[in-house]
Structure 1
Amino acid sequence: MQKVIIPSNSPLSLERNNRCSYYNCFNVYRCGKSGDQRIQVYIYPLKQYINEFGEPIIQHLSKEFYLIMQTVLHSKYYTSDPYNACIFIPSFDTLAQNNFLVKETSQALNKLPYWHNGENHLIFNFLPAQHSTVLKLATGNAIIAGVGFDSWTYRPSFDLSLPPYLPIQNFSSAVEERVWLVTSSQFNIHSSFIEKLKNLSKFNSELIILHNCSDSSPLFRCYKNFRYKYPDILRKSVFCIIFRGNRLSQPALLEAMAFGCIPIILSDTVVMPFQEIIDWKRAAFFVLEHNLSEIIRLAKSVSVTRIYEMSAQCSWLYLKYFSSIEVITNTTLDILNQRVFPENAHFYEDWNLKPNFGGSRSPLFLRTKSYSQSFTAVVLTYDRIDSLFFLIRKLSFVPSLSMILVIWNNPRIPLPEKSKWPQINKSLKVIQTDKNKLSNRFFPYKEIETEAVLSLDDDISMLTEDELDFGFEVWREFPDRIVGFPSRTHVWDNVTMSWKYESEWTNEISMILTGAAFYHKYWNYVYMTSMPDEIKQWVDNHMNCEDIAMNFLVANVTNKAPIKVAPRKKFKCPECVNTEMLSADLNHMLERSKCINKFEKIFGRMPLRKVEFRADPVLYKDSFPAKLKRFKNVGNL
């Protein structure tokens, strides 16, 4: 191992910059050089640091620090090339600052070849000194992933607040009867709380104060004349009080969570572990320190259902984020990666809810409303020129339309001459595809500059300007959903034991056909990059069901139903008669039912959600003067 001499007069790095944020201390231009959309993390080679007398000034690696390094080395973020690195990690142990020399270690940091005053360096510190909330090294602009931050020393969106590492033996998530309502089991409680806690217990038998047993064994706690094994006793408690002790971040917190005891946290300035991604209100209650007397009332007010949910959330959070050095390290790297590449960020639900949670989520950065002022109409056509031109002229009068993009899906027939296209006052662009594929309508064309896309078939000419304008207004309120006009549903057939595509006029819908529907252009990108290839191939081979596939995709991500707009239900060609369409309709329905069952099998579940809901313009059917109605021309059934 190479030796590095650190003379006693070696310069130190600058002191920790308390004003650091992601925007002024982190050099994002170091990231993404290799073309990967994720951070690259470099670990300095192991070296032995000695003073001018040949004495070691940095202790050997602890087991915990070795596990951190091994986890990084085997992670998807590791790189051996420092010139492509986004994050740098020093290879000497900084976990327990009581175990190293502050001046000499600070000098060693400054000696690192890519240090640059700590820029883009990550320093782990699991075990800060007692009564200290920040690592006492000259770390300059380095990121500190540490334990024990308070709101004064933590630099939001820059530092990372870690949990104290706590290996719990004989951990089991088995549910037992919880006979105690509120328990206090800490020893290192601040003196200002001890008397208040004792006084509270005199008048509340629901509060159990566990204390150190006579033999001072850390494996047991005593209550009155009874002796209980710790931390197993936490399984019998509903709520556990977590006080501010010598350290702000308490091992007692993780012990309580591991055994499903819901924490009631009394520490006004504590920064919770991984609070950047964890919604702690799902798993814990926070009470101001001067409101200690309110905890019994709070505990009694919580419903049985919420107690069950929070207890389960505590156990799940412990297993997912705190149960080992490996998961703590990987979570730290995932958070850093999310900061640098927010387009690849996990959803809120990914961080905070168990898989298959069945709730709803928005992939559009949790937005609940779009402020877009216009939309792009994407019209898929093949050879129906007359109906296409008629539709273009009609669309041009819709006030909120920004541009019409025609997808000419016939590679064998040349485009009509420019002079034959309708002359309109809106932008019109035409793209001729190389192959006739239905998936072409969902390609993320660079020409689409608006958030909203109106997907249209070239024969949907019955919709009025008011209907289209109103449909866009509805989409702005629900930008993560498919919003449109022709609706369908799926039903279970007990005879065939399979799903059936249903086009009957019912109040219940689960699909909006993309022959006339608004959606966010984000879904085009998801369709092309994340839709299973087997589904895209099925759609293009059968020239059918691309609209069903898009409904599956959106519902699978959001767990939300689409929204039907306006009462119109007739969308068929007016020239066609029922006798001509009967056979075609029968085959069509069978083919569509086959698609639903095929897609369900590929997705592994049925994501479509049924809903009885329809959005209609205000006053459209009321007998008010026309001048009072914004959307006057809305079609009937």
Structure 2
Amino acid sequence: MASLESIHVWNLFLQPLPCFRYDFKVLLHNSTFCLVPRGRRLGSFRFLEALQAGCIPVILSNGWVLPFDQVIDWSKAVVWADERLLLQVPETVQGISASQILSSRQQTQVLWERYFSSIEKIVFTTFEIIRDRLPRQKSKTGLTWNWSPGALLVDSQFSDCTADYPFYANFEQDSAEGQFTAIIYAQHGTTLYKVIRNVGHSQYVSKIIVLWSSPDKPLPSFLSRHNTTLPPIHTLTHITDISHRFLHSSLVTTSAVLSLDEDATLNTDEIDFAFHVWKSFPERIVGYPARSHYWDDAKNSWGYTSKWTNDYSIVLTGAAFYHRYYNYLYSHWLSPLLLKTVAQSHNCEDILMNFLVSHVTRRPPIKVTGRKHYKEISGGGSRSPWNDPDHFIQRQTCLNTFAAVFGYMPLLRSHMRLDPVLYKDPVSNLRKKYRQMELVFS
């Protein structure tokens, strides 16, 4: 298949074609290899056209230095050919394996999207290379530059160890990453102890951090007691900005972060199951309550819904795992306008975190299936804001503001749901790993 395509493309470039028979853009996007001859200047615009189309550039310019070649490994994305031996090109491309073709085409998309898709990214890439050359700056590795999400979204000030980032870590081999830090956002305290107890009974929890956001209410007395059956509990008071739940803090020493609202209804088995799933997808948000975005033609804007459908694009951080690197990006990388929107509305911080992670990874979150729906009544006994029409209007406004600042809609839909091996199946409960889920459900 690859050889036929390469011969077809080669013939198309050699033979004069009537302009009305072929659309150049369609031809480009349906080609496997694209010839890139030397241009009149130092480069050729055909090169960027090929990258954008996902077509493997065949460079026909001896001695041509490709852009940013000091950090980008172009051998993974292009084919070099001797312009003096033009007739040997078909044989060269026919000898490339199908797996290598797929890998190279994927790499063209990574490089195009991360470094060349806009003037802004080209400029920022140039600045990033210059910054790496400055004294006392942590320079980025070749892995960082040539692997998604790319150097512009991997801040070396966070860590000089690639294993500390969610994109490169191998959690199966690192036993130190077998724990998580739970961060609980609390306002009322009526159901807080139950949440702490369920989290504390997990064998994987390292510590619990309680963010107390009600300065007018006293802290629950149990937070000051020493309990040997629970992991260490740290309480942070005077939390006035809801974005503080994603604040980059030295208290969080594990890669995994479990973000919870105080009215979360997860039991210990559900927490453990979600953590095991997250370890397989450490670059994504993994959690229970899901929401969706959609395009509203009538309003010509983005809409937000909590209706139960076959797909979703947002996993609420009221009960979800994510990597602590996203706390760093949330605090240091996001536009101040985005953070100001969240602070003023005292809402939408979970949507913004989903925007951030989907923008970095270009992948959707992952929903895991729980034993029942997300709680409809808040911990204080009043109606939950999830059913408040004004609440949804506000979140739709946030959704459109975020999309405008990002310049596009990064959220992606997914149909995938992961279930703890069908906890309602007839297998003996003693043989199941997550026994308590079925007991509570029944």
Q: Any residues of structure 2 matched to 1:101-250 within 5 Å, and which?
A: 178-179=13-14
- 8 Å Cα contact 1:481-1:554 kept in structure 2: yes
Q: 1:430 to 1:328 in 2, by over 3 A?
A: closer
Does the alignment pair 1:262 with 2:52? Answer: no
1:478 and 1:491 mapped to 2: Cα distance?
25
The root-mean-square deviation of aligned C-alpha atoms, in Å, is 4.8
Q: 1:405 to 1:285 in 2, by over 3 A?
A: same
Q: 1:537 to 1:283 in 2, by over 3 A?
A: same
- TM-score, length-normalised on structure 2? 0.68
Of residues 167, 177, 183, the one that matches 1:366 is 167
- How far does residue 582 in structure 1 lie from its aligned partner after superposition? 9.4
SS at match of 2:307: coil
Q: Using CA pairs below 8 Å that are at least 6 residues apart, which structure has the higher relative contact order? A: 2
- How far does residue 552 in structure 1 lie from its aligned partner after superposition? 0.8
Q: 1:438 to 1:333 in 2, by over 3 A?
A: closer
2:400 and 2:347 mapped to 1: Cα distance?
14
- 8 Å Cα contact 2:386-2:392 kept in structure 1: no
Partner amino acid, structure 2, of 1:556: H
| CA deviation map 1:80-126 (0-9, x unaligned) | xxxxxxxxxxxxxxxxxxxxxxxxxxxxxxxxxxxxxxxxxxxxxxx
More off after superposition, 367-376 vs 411-420: 411-420
Does the alignment pair 1:529 with 2:323? Answer: no
Q: Which residues of structure 1 form unaligned runs of 5+?
A: 1-175, 181-236, 242-250, 267-271, 288-292, 321-325, 354-361
Partner amino acid, structure 1, of 2:180: F
- 8 Å Cα contact 1:486-1:569 kept in structure 2: no
Residue-pair matches, total: 369
SS at match of 1:385: coil
- TM-score, length-normalised on structure 1? 0.49
1:457 and 1:420 mapped to 2: Cα distance?
20
Of residues 268, 280, 286, the one that matches 2:75 is 280
SS at match of 2:367: strand
1:586 and 1:381 mapped to 2: Cα distance?
23
Partner amino acid, structure 2, of 1:341: K
- 8 Å Cα contact 2:263-2:375 kept in structure 1: no
- How far does residue 631 in structure 1 lie from its aligned partner after superposition? 2.0
Does the alignment pair 1:348 with 2:179? Answer: no
- How far does residue 425 in structure 1 lie from its aligned partner after superposition? 2.5
Of residues 375, 382, 385, the one that matches 2:180 is 375
- 8 Å Cα contact 1:486-1:513 kept in structure 2: yes
| CA deviation map 1:608-637 (0-9, x unaligned) | 111100112235343222233212333669
Structure 2 residue aligned with 1:511? 314
| CA deviation map 1:145-199 (0-9, x unaligned) | xxxxxxxxxxxxxxxxxxxxxxxxxxxxxxx96207xxxxxxxxxxxxxxxxxxx
SS at match of 1:633: helix
Of residues 410, 427, 437, the one that matches 1:607 is 410
Partner amino acid, structure 1, of 2:427: F
2:182 and 2:382 mapped to 1: Cα distance?
33
Of residues 235, 244, 250, the one that matches 1:431 is 235
1:343 and 1:256 mapped to 2: Cα distance?
26
Partner amino acid, structure 1, of 2:231: S
- 8 Å Cα contact 2:71-2:145 kept in structure 1: no
Q: Any residues of structure 2 matched to 1:477-492 within 5 Å, and which?
A: 477-492=280-295
- How far does residue 301 in structure 1 lie from its aligned partner after superposition? 6.6
More off after superposition, 406-415 vs 449-458: 406-415
- How far does residue 385 in structure 1 lie from its aligned partner after superposition? 2.3
- How far does residue 419 in structure 1 lie from its aligned partner after superposition? 7.5
SS at match of 2:165: coil
Structure 2 residue aligned with 1:140? none
2:185 and 2:314 mapped to 1: Cα distance?
19
- How far does residue 346 in structure 1 lie from its aligned partner after superposition? 4.7
SS at match of 1:386: coil
Partner amino acid, structure 2, of 1:627: L
Q: 1:413 to 1:476 in 2, by over 3 A?
A: same
Does the alignment pair 1:631 with 2:430? Answer: no
Q: Which residues of structure 2 form unaligned runs of 5+?
A: 1-10, 16-32, 48-56, 117-122, 153-162
2:279 and 2:420 mapped to 1: Cα distance?
14
- 8 Å Cα contact 1:402-1:426 kept in structure 2: no
Q: 1:286 to 1:403 in 2, by over 3 A?
A: farther
1:559 and 1:278 mapped to 2: Cα distance?
22
1:417 and 1:365 mapped to 2: Cα distance?
37
1:494 and 1:328 mapped to 2: Cα distance?
37
Of residues 196, 200, 222, the one that matches 1:396 is 200
SS at match of 2:373: coil
- In terms of fraction of residues, the more helix-rich structure is 2
Q: Any residues of structure 2 matched to 1:287-298 within 5 Å, and which?
A: 296-298=90-92
Partner amino acid, structure 2, of 1:486: P
Q: 1:580 to 1:474 in 2, by over 3 A?
A: closer
- How far does residue 299 in structure 1 lie from its aligned partner after superposition? 2.9
2:329 and 2:255 mapped to 1: Cα distance?
14
- How far does residue 510 in structure 1 lie from its aligned partner after superposition? 0.4
Of residues 275, 279, 292, the one that matches 1:476 is 279
SS at match of 1:404: strand
- How far does residue 467 in structure 1 lie from its aligned partner after superposition? 0.8
Q: 1:275 to 1:469 in 2, by over 3 A?
A: same
Structure 2 residue aligned with 1:497? 300
Structure 1 residue aligned with 2:423? 620
Does the alignment pair 1:405 with 2:233? Answer: no
Q: 1:552 to 1:238 in 2, by over 3 A?
A: closer
Partner amino acid, structure 1, of 2:190: D
| CA deviation map 1:413-472 (0-9, x unaligned) | 443446864724333333333342111111112111111000001111x21211100100
- 8 Å Cα contact 1:466-1:631 kept in structure 2: yes
- 8 Å Cα contact 1:501-1:593 kept in structure 2: yes
